[in-house]
Amino acid sequence: MGLFTLGIEEEFQTIDPETRELKSHMSKIVEGGRIILQERIKQEMHQAVVEMGTNICTNIQEARDEVTFLRQKLLELAENQGLKVAAAGTHPFSDWQHQLITEDDRYNKLIDEMRDVARGNLIFGLHVHVGIDDRNDAIKIMNQLRYFLPHIFALSVNSPFWCGRNTGFHSYRAKVFDKFPRTGIPEHFESAAEYDDYLRLLIKTGCIDNGKKIWWDLRLHPFYPTIEFRICDVPMRVDETICLASIMQALVAKLYSLKEKNLSYRTYPKHLINENKWRAGRYGIHSNLIDFGIESEVPYPKLVDELLEFIWDTAKDLGSTDEISYISQIMKNGTGADRQLRVYEETGCYNAVVDYIVEETKFGL
């Protein structure tokens, strides 16, 4: 991968159109798609989850084309099996206890190790890779990026319901995933060597068998020359996915440009960033997040304006200002969580929420 290239992975729900429940039928969809899509379609641990991943994209417009194409193909494959597809961080009412697990050695080991923590991990995320060749540069940029994770996360929140309950959170997906080890905001690492020593120790002591078992919200990918953002719920609309990916790419590019000028953004300890992550997951774009520099709560819309100002020059260079500008639509219309909650308030019906998510997943295709 080259500098600031993009790879986007989205996890989708397969839905029974009659009951609106999750349907464990992923293997047939994956088999049907392998000829055309090859490695771009993947099975996950739960059979009701399908992951679609783009090729390496040189810019955000290429990424949009890929994400759009993959969603279209997935909808076709699902339709052939009499199924629908939904993009949300959790299913509004399906219970994880009724879902089938994919038969695979890797998943069997995970279930054996983690039991109900793994079985209950019925969640759907967005992962974005941004290319960066030098691992020492990547670690330094990762340290600085951690501060911005709650700001990005708040825009993506899309999982207010869990097992037929309004959880009170805008992203309950994040709370479900917290049960896994090695999740959340990463630690600060002085160098790639310190990070590699940490990985070596975990492998040597049998905690993990490879670096992919580090499931942080942001990680230096163990096999690819990328920084991988993992904090976001999968958004309903392609426009939202592309907006989030363009913000991530612009942030990496901005911090890289500061490094080239021998400058850097201030870093903050994990325990402070966690305060903002909690608020973002609970309230989404209605949060007051903490500006640790001025030691004060700041309304989220003001922080968005500051974030845009910070990355705008870099976004111009990357040709992604149109994609990033979709933030204004998210702020105006609400996040996925806001819109799901609105449908439920209007109808009092979880089936109506599922139908809404299914329609929004097709939006703009």
User: For the residues 23-46, what does the mean pLDDT come to?
Assistant: 80
User: For the residues 66-93, what does the mean pLDDT come to?
Assistant: 96
> pLDDT value at position 26?
66
Question: How does pLDDT run across 239-271, given as a tens digit for each residue?
Answer: 999 999 999 999 999 999 999 999 999 999 999
Residue type, 34: R
Task: Tell me the pLDDT of the chain averaged across its residues.
Answer: 95
pLDDT > 90? residue 66: yes
> pLDDT value at position 98?
84
Question: How does pLDDT run across 268-304, given as a tens digit for each residue?
Answer: 999 999 999 999 999 999 999 999 999 999 999 999 9
Answering whether pTM is above 0.85, one says yes
φ, ψ for residue 345 (rounded to 5)?
Answer: -65, -35
Q: Around 98, how many Cα atoms within 13 Å sit in the side-chain half-sphere?
A: 8
Residues in the chain: 365
**Euclidean distance between the first and final Cα of the chain, in Å?**
27
CATH numbers and ranges of domains, the chain: 6-361 (3.30.590.20)
> pLDDT value at position 222?
87
- Sign of the Cα torsion 41, 234, 28, 47 reads positive
Cα 174 to Cα 21, 31, 36, 45, 162, distances in angstroms: 21, 30, 33, 18, 12
8 A C-beta contact, residue 176 and residue 190? no
> pLDDT value at position 12?
97
User: For the residues 101-120, what does the mean pLDDT come to?
Assistant: 84
Q: Where are the alpha helices (DSSP H) in the chain?
A: 26-37, 60-80, 105-114, 116-119, 135-145, 149-156, 172-177, 192-204, 238-260, 270-283, 300-318, 321-324, 327-333, 336-347, 350-361
DSSP 40: G
